[in-house]
Amino acid sequence: MSGLEVLGAITGVLGVLPVAVDALKTYKNIISSIRNAARDLASLIRDLETEQVRLQTTCEVLLEGIAPFSMIDDMTKDPFGATWEKYSHLLRLRLWESEREFKNYTLDMRDAAMELREKLCIYGDGSSRPTDKLSIIRELKKGASFTLNKKDYIDIVSRIKRGNLALSELASKSRGLEPTRQKRSQTRLIRLIRGLSNGIFNAIRNATTCACVAPHRVCLELAPRDAILIPSDVDDVVAQSLKFHVAFGSDISIGNKDTEEAYNLMKGQLMNRWNNIYFRLGSFECNKTPTLSPSPSTITASTIAVPPNTTKVAKVTDLCRMLIGKNKQPFLDCFGYIADTPRTFGIYPPTLYLDGCAILTLRELLEGKQSKVARFDYPEKLKVAHAIAVNTLHLHSTQWVEESLTLDNVIFFLPSSDDDADIVSLARPFVVRNLLTPYNKQITSSNTSRPVNLAVFSLGALLVQVMIGRVESALEMAGMMDVRTVLSKRDAGKRLFDQLLESGGANYKSAVEWCFDSVLHVAGLQNDKCCQQFFQEVVSRLEEDVQLLSEN
């Protein structure tokens, strides 16, 4: 049961309690002449009203700091409603391993609430059956479940009180422990994504066995990920829910017979073509006779005698050729799989098509070299900055980003015509890599007296240029980067802070300032503590601004 489903169980309780109180008030008014009975009902009403308020308060504690203040009152009246869905991952983080206890207590409270409704003769629509003194006496004489004796409700009220007290205590403790839990979850998530992204790059390279003259380029979408890992989660199970959007670039010429047949290019023509797909970790069993692209009959046969959670599809050994042929089989759920021992990654059809798109680097975008580019205003700039910051953390020291993301390896896909303007967005950046070219790590002076945190500082310099909307030569990260050079560039960047404050706001400026002030920190993004500080001071600030933007 997820965090959202746990709170869904509370819906039944919160739905019954106010109806029960209304029914009791009705009964109390009808039999007001019976002094003892009226007094008992008044006491029962007070108990149930108190428990209703206490349960709503527990919901408020769970939502505090997660949902906007303006929404909390309405959300506490409708647990598990539509407005809760967007916060489900944060609720899961807050509940952590107390989900099981929440489940047990809320289910017991819900059962007690159902018994309460039955004893009070409340219909499914909330109306009560006895509507006058005569009908009340008639129901009581039947000897059925209906009763107005307080002693008959002692057990029900006790169960609701006991559950309410436990939920209140768990919610309060969970709220207090959330900051440290978030750090632990983030540490696991960072390691998981770095491992997966490295595995995907290696698997792509292993499967690129074609004889193409020009080396292939691959692009990974810089997607923010909000997965939460709690202690009971299994990393590989969580990993299978994460999708990695990759674009595979080919320089296609008429000299290749397969591409001539596939694309019918004019003789001598050279073009760049992008095929985009999704990769996801999974368990795959290779067919007896591997094919470049599985046929419909292969997919059908693969459902026979396959172990649970294992898909039987072809292992792709020539990714380039497979992508050329994939357009002939658009109905396939899975094109096959590639491997980086011991992990295997399924290849899935895209939801965003990049065929015919050109690429634009972040540098070219900021230099205004594309005249027909889509809008790149504050909302797009903020989302790009957030995506780059998250992936600076998630992809650091992987095959995709050896040192840091730059103006030249962050790219966007542009539609080939104005009619396709909605196909891609400047709020969806990618990082581009040449499969055959090794990374040249940023050169630092061997005479430096102390480490220089270039990855974090480079991000700060990039964030400045993204938000002010232009390339600053003083912030170029090229050549020898010793301490003196970096500090000089930091001073140049700080002189732009007034412009940055005007363009991006105080929160954005604070994120950049932390990057600049961390340039001489001994620990870098390979250190868990530094990663946590980076997440809190940079990623969380940008994430907060993105959330506020979406709420407006």
Q: How far apart, in whole angstroms, are the C-alpha atoms of residue 283 and residue 303?
A: 14
Query: Looking at residue 99, what is its pLDDT?
Result: 79
Give the closest residue to 113 by CA, choosing from 77, 160, 76: 160
**Which of the two residues, 409 and 258, has the higher pLDDT score?**
409
- Structure tokens belonging to residue 55: 């349960």
Counting residues of the chain whose pLDDT is more than 70, the rounded percentage is 77
Q: Pick 379 or 324 by higher pLDDT.
A: 379
Tally the C-alpha atoms within 13 A of residue 263's C-alpha that lie toward its C-beta. 26
Whether 273 and 252 have beta carbons less than 8 Å apart is answered as yes
- Please tell me the distance from the alpha carbon of residue 452 to that of residue 523, in angstroms, as a whole number: 9
Looking at the domain 366-551, which fold is it? Transferase(Phosphotransferase); domain 1 (1.10.510)
Q: Which residues contact 52 (CB under 8 A, 6 or more apart)?
A: 14, 17, 18, 21
Return the pLDDT at 73. 85
Assigned token pair, 188:
């696991």
Q: Where in the chain is the domain with CATH 1.10.510?
A: 366-551
pLDDT digits (tens, 9 = 90+) for 54-67: 988 888 888 888 88
User: Is the Cβ–Cβ distance between 444 and 478 less than 8 Å?
Assistant: no
Q: At what angle do helices 69-76 and 35-63 cross, to 10 degrees?
A: 140
Looking at the chain, the number of H-run helices and the number of E-run strands are 19, 9
Q: pLDDT tens digit string along 488-531?
A: 999 999 999 999 999 999 999 999 999 999 988 888 899 999 99
Pairing of β 310-313 and β 270-286: parallel
Cα three-residue angle 415-419-421, rounded to 5 degrees: 45
Q: How far apart are CA 185 and CA 192, in angstroms?
A: 11
Burial class (CB in 10 A: 0-12, 13-18, 19+), 265: middle
| Strand ranges inside 91-243, DSSP E | 217-221
Q: Which residue has the tokens 């307080």?
A: 150
Q: What is the pLDDT of residue 484?
A: 86
Tokens of 387: 């995506």
Q: Which stretches of 345-430 are DSSP H helices?
A: 362-366, 378-394
Coil, strand or helix at 432: strand
What whole-number distance in Å separates Cα of residue 66 and Cα of residue 92? 11
Report phi then psi at 281, rounded to 5.
-60, 140
Q: Is the pLDDT of residue 329 over 90?
A: no
- Residue 170 scores a pLDDT above 60: yes
Tell me how far apart the alpha carbons of residues 208 and 203 are, in angstroms, rounded to a whole number: 9
Strand, helix or coil for residue 460: helix
Taking CA atoms, 70 is separated from 7, 73, 175, 541, 550, in Å, by 20, 7, 20, 20, 15
Q: Which of 94-108, 131-145, 192-206, 501-515 has the lowest mean pLDDT?
A: 131-145
> Which H or E run contains 275?
strand 270-286
| Lowest pLDDT segment from 163-177, 288-302, 306-320, 494-508 | 288-302
Q: Which of 99-103, 184-188, 328-332, 405-409 shows the lowest mean pLDDT across its residues?
A: 328-332
CA 256 to chain centre: 41
- Mode of pairing for the β-strands spanning 336-340 and 310-313: unpaired
Q: What pLDDT was estimated at residue 275?
A: 87
The pair of three-digit structure tokens given for residue 431, joined into one six-digit string: 């990082």
What is d(CA 42, CA 150) in angstroms, rounded to the nearest whole number?
Answer: 10
Give residue 425's pLDDT. 64
